[in-house]
Amino acid sequence: MKGWILAGCIILTLFAGGCKTKPVPPEVHEAELQEMNLWRAGASIYAPEDYNQYLKSLREAKDKLIQVKAKFPWLRNYQETQLAFQNLLDTGNKLLQKVEDQKQQRSEAVSSQISSFTKRIDNVKKLSRMIHHGRFARTLLIRTELRLMEANLLHKRGEIEGAEKKLKDVILYLKDAEDLVFSVLERYRDRSFLEKWDIWLRETISESEQKGIFAIIVTKIDRKLVIYKNGKPTMTFDIGLGPNSLADKIHVGDYATPEGKYRIIEKIPKSQYYKALLLDYPNEEDRKRFQVEKKEGIIPPGVGIGGLIEIHGGGKDSITNGCISIENDDLDRIFDLIDIGTPVTIVGSTRRKNEIFFRQ
């Protein structure tokens, strides 16, 4: 009888003031917000392994909470559960910082790639204007630029993963354009060509110095015409070349500018393009090579070697199919200085290394 009375007193005491439900630790709600923030921040993308481990710890902490909440209210003890959620929050804060760091690093990498691709596109675009059939490369470049614009827009909106995917397309299109252009320009990295051009340059400059005469050096890659006197450069002019200017001339109608050592053989005070200085193309070396390539089948039957290569006026942006065009005022400055017989050397490049052709 006394036992029942004691038990009743205990029950009455609990209901009277000691059996209030203990509140769930605030860390539980904080963890729910943190999980959402991590998801929004892209933790599954930027730190997938750590994020999966975080979710595992979150499930374990929630399991502890469920176990505690399953007990009678007056028997619930959240101390261990609260500690688990506190540890989880600490892990989540570190993870969030790691995600932000990763996003920043990848954002900077995307920004760097966009800048690099922009330079490469501009480079290939410029080179494509100097080769025959460059329009095919420019078509690829248009597609490349569109993807790059999309990548840049996604990057500005903070959608780094989307920007990275677009940049993969940029790489593919840009590579195709570069392959097309660099296949034509491979000789600008060929040591035999670079050494040959260097010998021509030194011989021409030496002749100018020894004879005390003017000499003309034309560099196709730089689109420059330099006047030498007594072996020293005295004037430099911008020039225009044909649509296939970076290739060496092989035959008539190839739109290429010849490379070699030539002479002025005629000064034409009035021509279709203002004034002109006629070169002795084709010279003996040009004819020899033409015959060899004709026999090898490189040059189609019935195609001639061509001629009438001039330094003429009309402007550096005028249409020319293989000649060297120059502004009329610039041609006026040199026309009276240059005599018949003046050496004119045309080379692809004056540099031993053409960094412009090396892919970044």
Backbone angles phi, psi at 99, to 5 degrees: -60, -45
Q: Domain check: are 139 and 194 in the same one? A: no
Q: How does residue 19 score in pLDDT terms, banded at 50, 70 and 90? A: low
Which has the minimum average pLDDT: 112-116, 149-153, 186-190, 254-258? 186-190
Encoded amino acid at 167, one letter: L
The pLDDT tens digits for 20-59 are 678 899 999 999 999 999 999 889 988 999 999 999 999 9
- Kindly list the strands in the beta sheet with 260-271, ordered across the sheet, starting from the edge strand earlier in the chain: 232-238, 224-229, 214-219, 343-347, 260-271, 274-279, 310-312, 324-325
Q: Domain check: are 151 and 206 in the same one? A: no
Q: Is residue 357 domain-resident?
A: no
Among candidate residues 158, 188, 218, the one where a domain is terminated: 188
Q: Domain check: are 289 and 335 in the same one? A: yes
Q: Is residue 146 domain-resident?
A: yes
Mean pLDDT in residue range 171-180: 88
Q: Domain check: are 184 and 204 in the same one? A: no
Task: Give how far the C-alpha of residue 292 lies from the chain's centroid of Cα atoms, to the nearest Å.
Answer: 40
CATH number for the domain that contains residue 329:
2.40.440.10
> Which residue is it, tokens 């997938």?
48
Q: Domain check: are 89 and 150 in the same one? A: yes
How many domains would you assign to the chain? Answer: 2
One DSSP character per residue, 102-171 reads HHHHHHHHHHHHHHHHHHHHHHHHHHHTTSTTHHHHHHHHHHHHHHHHHHHHHHHTT-HHHHHHHHHHHH
Q: Is residue 17 domain-resident?
A: no
- Token pair belonging to 168: 């993969």
Among candidate residues 188, 223, 249, the one where a domain is terminated: 188
Rounded to the nearest 10°, the torsion over CA 25, 30, 34, 37 is 150
Q: Domain check: are 122 and 45 in the same one? A: yes
Q: Is residue 356 domain-resident?
A: no
Among candidate residues 188, 218, 246, the one where a domain is terminated: 188
**pLDDT computed for residue 205 by the predictor:** 96
> Which residue is it, tokens 């051009």?
197
Backbone angles phi, psi at 282, to 5 degrees: -85, 140
The boundaries of the domain holding residue 67 are 24-188
User: How many H helices and E strands in the chain?
Assistant: 10, 8
**pLDDT computed for residue 92 by the predictor:** 93
The pLDDT tens digits for 260-306 are 999 999 999 998 889 999 999 999 998 998 888 888 888 888 888 88
